[in-house]
Structure 1
Amino acid sequence: MHESTPLVSIGRILLAAMMFVLVLPYHPKAVDNRDWSQATPSEIHAEMGRRKAMALEAARRREALISSAVQANTQTNYDVTFYDIYLRLNDTTQMIYGRVGMTATATQDGVSAVDIDLYNNMPIDSIVSPSGPLTYSRAGNVVTVNLDHPYNTGESFSFVTYYNGHPVTGGFQAFSFDVHSGNTVMSSLSEPYLARTWWPCKDRPDDKADSFHIAIEVATQFYCGSNGTLDSTVATSPNTHTFYYTVHYPMTTYLFSVAASVYTVWQQDYVYNGGLDTMPVVHATYPDMYSYALPRWGKTPDYIASLAKYYGEYPFTSEKYGHSNFEWGGGMEHQTMTSMTGSTFGFAEPV
């Protein structure tokens, strides 16, 4: 289990403020036709306050619901160290086909079963450990996995969950199949307890895995933005390709991000350490917003440099920073790849 270091916490808070990351969990498809480039800073700050108040109220309702559930305190017997995630997104059927490996260590003696989180509308095909298939049971949105043998404190175990389904929609929606200018947009916004609606995990913000391997397979016309370093993009079939990312820093489950669509992708360099090092800043912009994004998102390296002078270096320099457009009514400070609404509000950054 990893708590946020002060530097990482400050970095996330500052970038959230800088990029005006505003979440509208209960209105993911809210229409925002205002040209926010014409708004005054005070008007934008007022809108920020309104959206943050809505997000806070939504988060409180979610937290109360999750905390009241029996399973809220049944996951203290293990600590997740690594996730190995492979997701195939079908934009036609709006289905997710997933394979999620989890490695963890026991935090007490005699751990013979563990609870993971996955909404019950997402069918499980099988759960398999290195020694073979495991038995499991489901109660509500909790999956109890029976391990191959008891594990004592500090001992490591792992298993892979094979599953599929169309994520829940409505008030507790965290994965969305939307459309922008005729193109499908597949994206996530899971804060704070809704990663479980679309992938199996220990969905607790207080347990950060040390690292992630992320692979997202999509149709060839789509680019997929996600967390960490893009290691490769590999043709998987005549009609699909897979984006392989590695996350080297601890990350909680709700920060795992997917944003896949037809994007115009462009990259800048953030230069730091006295000019000796560079970090990529990657932007995945809706094509119809590309010219609008250039002078706005294009300021990002300068903003990071300015903040670093006062608050310390950006904490994920060995990976990247960037943005992906999505259709939710605000934004989300996903680790190393912020998701931003595609309206002009998603590009408004008054100083």
Structure 2
Amino acid sequence: MKSNTFFALALALLFPIFSQAQLPGFTNDQHTRADSLRGTLTPLRSCYDVNYYHLDVKVDIPNRAIAGSNLIQFTATEDFEKLQFDLFDDLKIDYIQYHGEKLPYKREFNAVFVAFPKTIKKGSLDAFQVFYSGRPRQANRAPWDGGFDWKIDSQGKPWVATACQGLGASAWWPNKDHQSDEVDSMLISVAVPSALMNISNGRLRSTEKLKGGYTKYNWFVANPINNYNVALNIGDYVNLKDSYTGEKGVLDIDYYVLRENKDRAFNHLSKNTKDVLQALEHWFGPYPWYEDGYKLVETSHLGMEHQSAIAYGNKYMNGYLGRDGSGTGYGNKWDFIIIHESGHEWFGNNITAKDLADMWIHESFTNYSESLFIEYFYGKQAAQDYLYGNRKGILNDRPLYGIPNVNKSGSGDMYLKGGVLMNQVRTIINDDRKWSAILRGLNTKFYHKTVDYKDIVGYITAASGIDFNPIFEQYVRFKTLPTLEVYFDQEGKIYGRWNAEATNFTMPIAIQNTNGSYEMVTITNKYRPLGISGLTKNSFKIDEQNFYVGLLIQDFQYPKK
């Protein structure tokens, strides 16, 4: 057993890796009225479906302030006279305009309640515009806390980015800040000092020279996008162009790097980007945003999965800032941030959890995508070694599933434990072609859609023909591992059962027979003969690399209970 000192050091090194894009306050089970207002889809929020945003802001870098507006176009899903949108209360609402009139409103914490002069009828298309200003929340440790990241590059020039996963997009712009409602398309207009550029999601439509030495950059997103992915990145950028021929044709690729890094950036970014697109299209299907292109944008923070404009801050190094948390060496063969954040383009951006409680869907599959990348280039055993090596960072401190309707995600184990769980599901299915079809099928079935726990587990269960409900219940909704309890009777017969919290927990597991090969044996929560002869207490062995479970081999007697 490793010493406690070594274990603590290992966790300290691993923590940034499995905390990448970690959500603020994820360890806190307490919630407030403000959390409920943001996390609950009340009738004042479900009464309208957002179709289009035009976010139009000017960034005052010296004063760390913003001012502008957001046009919110929507379809009424019910008759209503009042609705809620969201904007953090440290930002001022200058006024709200509706058909030339200013609307009355009330604020409670970060929620804004707007009253309309008439009933908005179900099915009608309408819009209002929110004008606002102020100093948005500063991110002191982006991306793990949220807000604006105000930095200076090595040449003394401003270098600014946003990152707001978990905290909420309403920390810097007014919107319906709930993951269940992704806007269909969006125009992002950002005015910055003319010596700098702004890079946002989607494709650059135009630039406009403004008075006072400012230039406005207009970026259009043609596909649905979740709010926390909307980003601005301001800096002295140089654009390096690339392309990739993938499953849907030619994909435009752009790298926006600081001018000081233009000579060393292209080869590193191009190799890693094309490798990950090749591997993940193989496993998950076509990159989901061909219409909007693929971008990597250099940031001072480590990274974030901003859709079609991935924030990149790994300093052109392989591994995670040069480290491999798995200890296998495979993690240092590729750039962690490019691979992990690109994986989110499928799980997180294409398939988006409706509620923050289900963020395990984003992180579990995306952590698993790292091993799939390794498998594509280095083989299946290398991928399994990587996942097994990552286990030392798992804490089993809290469930992966968070608290619904109050803006609370689950344990940081959603990364490493989630990836291990996906490998275990694959092992149980025991058909790699079927498993590959399931991964691609998820991205087809839920293409550009929002999902919840039941959607994902239900799809895997139906597509595999195996009831995975008790397995996901135990690994996602409980913090502890199921324990395989085994005993031998006086005649040497082996009996086993699962000790687990999940209702009627049943799961197959691979047990090594006397020939050295593994047999898959389905075990329930009741003691039953395992049906493998010739094993002893000392020779009993399970497939520890592919099954993450507890094991208790008991004395040679029948337990009374």
Q: Distance in 1 between matches of 2:54 and 2:259?
A: 31
Q: Distance in 2 between matches of 1:256 and 1:66?
A: 26
Structure 1 137/61 Cα, relative in aligned 2: closer, same or farther at 3 Å? farther
Q: Is the 8 A contact 1:213 1:245 kept in 2?
A: yes
Q: Is the 8 A contact 2:130 2:174 kept in 1?
A: yes
Aligned to 1:244, the other structure's residue is in SS state strand
Match of 1:203 among 153, 170, 177: 177
Match of 1:91 in 2: 61
Match of 2:147 among 174, 178, 197: 174
Q: Is the 8 A contact 2:303 2:314 kept in 1?
A: no
Kindly provide the amino acid, as one letter, of the partner of residue 290 in structure 1.
K
Match of 1:231 in 2: 205
Q: Which runs of 5+ in 2 are unaligned?
A: 1-9, 323-333, 336-373, 375-561
Aligned to 2:57, the other structure's residue is in SS state strand
Structure 1 104/54 Cα, relative in aligned 2: closer, same or farther at 3 Å? same
Higher helix share goes to which structure? 2
Match of 1:250 among 224, 228, 231: 224
Aligned to 1:123, the other structure's residue is in SS state strand
- Pair member with larger Rg: 2
Kindly provide the amino acid, as one letter, of the partner of residue 160 in structure 2.
M
Q: Distance in 2 between matches of 1:62 and 1:322?
A: 34
- In the TM superposition, structure 1's runs of 4+ consecutive aligned residues that sit over 6 Å from their partners are none
Q: In the TM superposition, what is the alpha-carbon distance from 1:85 to its structure 2 partner? A: 0.8
Match of 2:425 in 1: none
Q: In the TM superposition, what is the alpha-carbon distance from 1:55 to its structure 2 partner? A: 4.6
Structure 1 343/223 Cα, relative in aligned 2: closer, same or farther at 3 Å? same
Q: In the TM superposition, what is the alpha-carbon distance from 1:158 to its structure 2 partner? A: 1.0
1:164 is the counterpart of 2:136: no
Structure 1 201/264 Cα, relative in aligned 2: closer, same or farther at 3 Å? same
Q: In the TM superposition, what is the alpha-carbon distance from 1:108 to its structure 2 partner? A: 2.1
Q: In the TM superposition, what is the alpha-carbon distance from 1:225 to its structure 2 partner? A: 1.1
Q: Is the 8 A contact 1:99 1:163 kept in 2?
A: yes
Q: 1 or 2 for the larger relative contact order (CA 8 Å, sep ≥6)?
A: 1
Structure 1 344/47 Cα, relative in aligned 2: closer, same or farther at 3 Å? farther
Higher strand share goes to which structure? 1
Q: Distance in 2 between matches of 1:49 and 1:138?
A: 38
Structure 1-normalised TM-score?
Answer: 0.79
Aligned to 1:249, the other structure's residue is in SS state coil
Match of 1:108 in 2: 78
Match of 2:103 among 119, 131, 134: 134
Structure 1 76/297 Cα, relative in aligned 2: closer, same or farther at 3 Å? same
The RMSD of aligned alpha carbons is 2.7
Kindly provide the amino acid, as one letter, of the partner of residue 132 in structure 2.
Y
Q: Is the 8 A contact 1:286 1:342 kept in 2?
A: no
Once the two structures are aligned, what percentage of the paired residues are identical? 22
Match of 2:294 among 317, 321, 327: 321
Deviations 1:182-234 (A, max 9, x none): 11112111102421111011111111011101111111111111111111122
Aligned length: 305
Q: In the TM superposition, what is the alpha-carbon distance from 1:53 to its structure 2 partner? A: 3.2
Q: Is the 8 A contact 1:284 1:324 kept in 2?
A: yes
Q: In the TM superposition, what is the alpha-carbon distance from 1:295 to its structure 2 partner? A: 1.7
Match of 2:47 in 1: 77
Deviates more, 1:289-298 or 1:256-265: 289-298
Q: Is the 8 A contact 1:167 1:173 kept in 2?
A: no
Q: Is the 8 A contact 2:240 2:266 kept in 1?
A: no
Q: Which runs of 5+ in 1 are unaligned?
A: 1-43
Q: Distance in 2 between matches of 1:347 and 1:56?
A: 17
Which structure 2 residues correspond to residues 1-351 of structure 1 after superposition, within 5 A? 50-53=16-19, 55-56=21-22, 58=24, 60-61=26-27, 65=31, 69-71=35-37, 72-73=39-40, 74=42, 75-109=45-79, 111-169=80-138, 173-181=146-154, 182-237=156-211, 239-272=213-246, 277-299=249-271, 300-328=273-301, 330-341=302-313, 343-345=315-317, 349-350=334-335
Structure 2-normalised TM-score?
Answer: 0.50
Q: Is the 8 A contact 1:196 1:203 kept in 2?
A: yes
Structure 1 95/342 Cα, relative in aligned 2: closer, same or farther at 3 Å? farther
Structure 1 55/301 Cα, relative in aligned 2: closer, same or farther at 3 Å? closer
